[in-house]
Amino acid sequence: MEALTYPECQVSKDVKIALSYNSNPPISQIISGRISFSTFIFHWVYRPLFLGLIISLFSCQTVWAFEINTHKQLTDKAIESIESQLNTYLIDNLGLEGGLNEQLGGLNAIGWMIAGSDFEDNVPRFNNHFHDPISDTGLGLGESAIDWSLRPIGEQEWSWNDAREYYFKALTSETKDERDENWRKTFRALGQVMHLLQDQASPAHVRNDPHLSQFGLGDVDGLHDFMFMRDVATYVGLGIIGPDPSILEDAHQTQPVPIANLFDHNQYTGPNPNASLGGQAGLAEYTNANFFSDDTIPGQIATDSLFFQTYAHPSLAELVPAPVPSPYLTVARLGSAAFPGARAAKITGNQAVATFLLTNTNLDLLGQLQLDDAVYDAQAQNLIPRAVGYSAAVLDYFFRPQFPLEPSSHEFQVLGTFDGTGCTMVPDPGSDSGSLDVRFTIPSNLNFGDRTGFLYYEKTDGTRVLLGEERTDLPSGQVLFFSGSILRSELVMDQPVRWYLVLKGKAGPGEQEEEAILANTDEASWDYVCLS
């Protein structure tokens, strides 16, 4: 088991790994006019050199987004929001006896998800936590957070696809120790995926603003420092904000898994900021369109330099002054000018002249816009409830507890002895085995197809044994039948037989996930039948 502490940095190795990741914009984006030539040169030349230098200088404590404690709280609140339903599903449908409180190598299931939210910031993983929904790129040589979260099995160890593989092994491995190890990895991987999604609620992470700092020195991320001193619970007291469920029923533009839509659903494309407001928008879209990061405020010196890029929204032209004497400018689509949660920036310097000339893109001569605690509080009011709600959607989509497999019948049929008057509950001495039969119906709205079913039973010592594997293409809504023979000597007579059914294949609802997993477990009673 890994201790819940930061691993020692191996900087030379980490730099090599970090510099091997490349998701820079292609030349075609210059030709199409999506990015400027200076931005292209920055992505390919200056920023990679800059980041490589920084990574070599900074240790594991380099800060890129929310403080680790904030991530832990976000994950904890996400779990809490669906705890009752998920806990029941884990116990009743998956056979994890302790549910979310199951002890798995020193931590329970909740603890491992929270630990995953910690581990994901290890060097050099944090370089892959950015996603710009306008350019569909990550930061510098790093990958987009979407691409990183969906890496194929084994490539980065804790991706969504890795979580799926661990989950399958947690349900099907032979020994309890093996299953517990894979349950631990499943929950940890889910925590790391939630961390990646939570980072999309940080303006710096969706506007490619690196904010490299160490021990509070350097280019500190103001929202990060603001949340470091505050509790996530403060911002979710009125509830969390999740996506519209239908967002996970659509195909993603570039990825084969609809979970990518939670990051970026391609609703907001630059000129249409109102599209970022509804539940159909990915978290990165909402954050990018409505909030400044410290170094992406239009008209500021930093954003005119080669190391930062500008974004269409929020724009200076759309900012509305709060009622006098407030020095704040607001974004109307987030609320009225008097609403604290709509604050976008604070005017400094010659406030009166700057307010009058807001459309002037060079406020440096008159007064500057800056972000302060009141602005960070407004950002937190909007972003923290969404970070929690979208994280909860990760767990909901992964396990799909709202679509349980319910057996229509299940029994362990044993040949009984006929005593002349009827069938007795005495096994026929000429037969040494029985048949475990399980019938169930796949929910019709799950759109589950191209699937393989695996039927297991469990011996009294906890060993899980595969009885049969069958590929089936019967449509959802049809009754499926699985059966397998078990030696009676491997069971305790008349004690219920614990069985596990695991289905692996394409599943919705709506757009199908390629490697979805559904499972159920129950105990089958002995059913004696006689031939005469």
DSSP-assigned states of every residue in 268-298: --SS-GGGGSSTTS-HHHHHHHH---TT--T
408, exposed or middle or buried, with CB in 10 Å at 0-12, 13-18, 19+?
exposed
CB-CB neighbours of 180 under 10 Å = 17
Residue 131 backbone dihedrals phi, psi, to 5 degrees: -150, 115
Flag residues of the chain having pLDDT under 50: 1-35, 37-64, 301, 303-306, 352, 354-356, 359-366
Nearest to 459 by CA among 430, 425, 500, 427: 500
Span 31-48, pLDDT tens digits: 444 445 444 444 444 444
224's CB contacts (< 8 A; 6+ apart) are: 63, 65, 66, 67, 70, 202, 204, 211
- Rounded Cα gap, residues 41 and 30, in angstroms: 10
- Rounded Cα gap, residues 269 and 135, in angstroms: 9
pLDDT of residue 58: 42
pLDDT of residue 219: 65
Q: Where in the chain are the domains?
A: 11-235, 295-370, 406-529
Contact between 380 and 492 (Cβ < 8 Å) = no
- Rounded Cα gap, residues 39 and 287, in angstroms: 21
323's CB contacts (< 8 A; 6+ apart) are: 337, 338
- Rounded Cα gap, residues 175 and 459, in angstroms: 10
CB-CB neighbours of 16 under 10 Å = 12
Backbone CA torsion sign across 427, 429, 430, 435: positive
Question: What is the distance, to the nearest Å, from the Cα of residue 56 to the centroid of all Cα atoms in its chain?
Answer: 29
Strands 526-529 and 406-418: parallel
Span 319-346, pLDDT tens digits: 999 998 999 999 999 999 999 999 999 9
CB-CB neighbours of 428 under 10 Å = 17
DSSP-assigned states of every residue in 391-412: HHHHHHHHH-TTS--EEEEEEE
Residue 56 backbone dihedrals phi, psi, to 5 degrees: -70, -25
Residue recorded with tokens 């500057």: 368
The CATH architecture to which 406-529 belongs is Sandwich (2.60)
Q: Which residues of 56-74 are buried (b: 16+ CB within 10 A; e: fewer)?
A: eebebebbbbbbbebbbbb
Give the DSSP H/E element, type plus range, for residue 228: helix 222-228
pLDDT of residue 13: 32
pLDDT of residue 214: 55
Q: CA–CA distance from 506 to each of 22, 55, 85, 255, 515 (Å)?
A: 30, 40, 23, 15, 6
The pTM (predicted TM-score) of the whole model is 0.86
In what side-by-side order are the strands of the sheet with 369-370?
319-321, 328-331, 343-347, 369-370
Asked if the peptide bond before residue 509 counts as cis, ω within 30 degrees of 0, the response is yes
- Rounded Cα gap, residues 412 and 163, in angstroms: 33
Residue recorded with tokens 């987030």: 334
Three-state DSSP class for residue 472: strand
12, exposed or middle or buried, with CB in 10 Å at 0-12, 13-18, 19+?
exposed
Residue 55 backbone dihedrals phi, psi, to 5 degrees: -60, -35
